[in-house]
Amino acid sequence: MSAEGLSVHNLREIIRLYTQGLSGRAIGRSLSISPATISGYLGHVRAAKLGWPLPPELDNDALLRRALFPPQDSAAAAGRPMPNFAEVHRELRGRHVTKMLLWQEYREQHADGLGYSQFCEHYAAWAKPLLATMRQTHHAGDKVFVDFSGDGIRVFDAASGEYRTAKLFVAVLGASNLTYVEPVFHEDLPTWIGCHVRAFTYFGGVPKIVVPDNLKAGVTKPHRYDPDLNRTYVDLADHYGVAVIPARPRRPRDKAKVEQAVLLAERWILAVLRHERFTSMDELRAAVSALNERLNARKMRKLGTSRRELFERIERHTLQPLPEQPYEYADWATATLGPDYHVEFDKHWYSAPYTLIGQKLDVRATLGGVELIHRHERVASHVRSRVPYRHTTQKDHMPSTHRAYAEWTPERLTSWAKTVGPQTEVVVREILGARVHPEQAFRSCLGLLGLAKKFSAQRLEAACTRAVTHRACTRRSVENILKNKLDLVQPESAAKPQLSPHGNVRGPGYYH
């Protein structure tokens, strides 16, 4: 029990009301303090044998430190060797290291040293002045905290004659405080993912957990217990074997480590560069990188060691190894496989097995490839195409009835039609040109040309001539002409019909 939670005025009131005979419950109701708290303080009052009014020599400090809460351990600790609490604090960041273990090691060296309770109390008093982030115990290799800075630094763009503001991406390891800082122009998803990749490379490994703030680039829907992560962010985590656990909304202590790191980056990097003039991002990156190394080399006042030294000592060996290849940025989308067994992504169509027609597929697109995934299993992989409104098709994805047409092209079809006759070629070109995608007309063209086997090439050419004359250039029209033997009928005279004279017919002279 200590006096940290109550004002001196309340302590004096507790003593006054108690000496007047009020019970602890009544005193609690009067001062709006819980009876359990009152009971604890009354034990100190009785032990100090205090009455009311208090003696004049008991000022506030004397009342707290000498009468009610005397430093009982000071006499016990007199002449005893004190532990190196900076070393204790560093050791507690190691995995599975406890205060009890460190106290036992301390007593093995100093048999007349502090007891365990005094050891813990002295350590708590030593650690109290540390920053909030330092009071938390983060085990080596467990967490990295990531965020963007609020402030930035301006970069002059000589091409446009305008300034652009670069923010700082900051990543800090929980145990050693080793910090990675990178200037960026954007806070979008590609930038966010790229910064993570470069931060892991800088650390030379990855911790078990990444703790971001709830920014939109990483968290699509913040939630205290079950946030929704961006699919690309989940893909990155899977590639490196880490878990992403966003800080809870409105819980600043969850991200206190990185907030302190951002503050240090702003003080030791942005403030140092405030008078510098940068004309390119490369210049700024070089300057920030140098100051970042200086920050990691500075000794932390309370711990007496630098971030880099602490990292090399307790955390480097606890990080998980980097994968063989760094993560390649990928966009994700969801699409339904159409009846033509293709899905559309970035204005291009990619095939998947026709047996999945109507099913929803996940589309994962990197710079060089497109993967189609169904129920967490990859069902198709294509080289990414930048040609809009075209198809990329694999033969194995076609129904068996479609594979026969895979080797055909518009040029091959028109060449075949030309061997039948010029009018047949005209009809084939008309059929191909009537479709947005020529592939969709291959079946009709093959069906048309197949009529030569059934009716002869001469009759097919005659039927196509009639179809061109009547502008009915379809396979069905040509087939109907052949079935009805209209190709054998002599063509009608091209002479214009003459109208019989009539009083209501104006004649060509009327218009002159």
| Burial 240-279, CB ≥16 within 10 A → b, else e | bebebebbbeeeeebbbbbbbbbebbbebbbeebeeeebe
Taking each helix axis from N to C end, the angle separating 442-449 and 475-483, rounded to the nearest 10 degrees, works out to 20
Model confidence at 219, pLDDT cuts 50, 70, 90, reads low
Per-residue confidence band for 253, with pLDDT thresholds at 50, 70 and 90:
low
Q: Assign 494 a pLDDT band (cuts: 50, 70, 90).
A: very low
Percent of the chain residues past pLDDT 70, beyond the cut: 79
Radius of gyration (C-alpha) of the chain in whole angstroms: 41
pLDDT at 75: 41
116-131 burial, b if ≥16 CB within 10 A, otherwise e?
A: eebbeebbeebbeeee
Which residues touch 469 (CB under 8 Å, ≥6 apart)?
Answer: 491
- How high is the pLDDT of residue 479? 93
Average pLDDT over residues 277-288: 90
Q: Is 172 helix (H, G, I), strand (E, B) or coil?
A: strand
* Tens digit of each residue's pLDDT (9 = 90 or more) over 22-58: 888 888 877 778 887 787 777 777 777 777 877 776 6
Which DSSP category does 67 fall into?
I
Give CA separation, 210 vs 198, 207, 214, 247, in Å.
14, 7, 12, 10
> Please, how many CA atoms are within 13 Å of residue 355, restricted to the half-sphere of its CB?
5
Identity of the highest mean pLDDT range in 34-38, 404-408, 433-437: 34-38
DSSP letter, residue 490: P
The predicted pLDDT at position 387 comes to: 87
Pick the range with the lowest mean pLDDT from 8-22, 121-135, 178-192. Answer: 121-135
pLDDT above 60: residue 2: no
Give the pair of three-digit tokens for residue 21. 């005979």
Q: Report the distance separating Cα 459 and Cα 483, nearest Å.
A: 11
Given CA atoms 184, 185, 187, 189 in this order, what sign does their dihedral have?
negative
Question: For the CA atoms of 386, 390, 396, 401, what is the dihedral angle to 10 degrees?
Answer: 180
Instruction: Report the CATH architecture of 144-318.
Output: 2-Layer Sandwich (3.30)
pLDDT score for 41: 76
CA-based torsion, 402, 408, 413, 414: positive or negative: positive
Q: Which residues of 447-471 are buried (b: 16+ CB within 10 A; e: fewer)?
A: ebbebbeebeeebbbbbbbbbbeee
Q: Are 147 and 255 in contact (CB under 8 A)?
A: yes
Beta strand spans in 64-202 (E): 143-157, 162-173, 179-184
pTM for the predicted model, two decimal places:
0.54
pLDDT of residue 65: 55
% of the chain beyond a pLDDT of 90 = 23
* Torsional class of 507: left (φ above 0), alpha (ψ -120 to 50), beta (otherwise): left
Pick from 476, 461, 411: which is nearest to 438 by CA?
411
425 pLDDT higher than 90: yes
- pLDDT tens per residue, range 187-211: 888 999 999 999 999 999 999 888 8
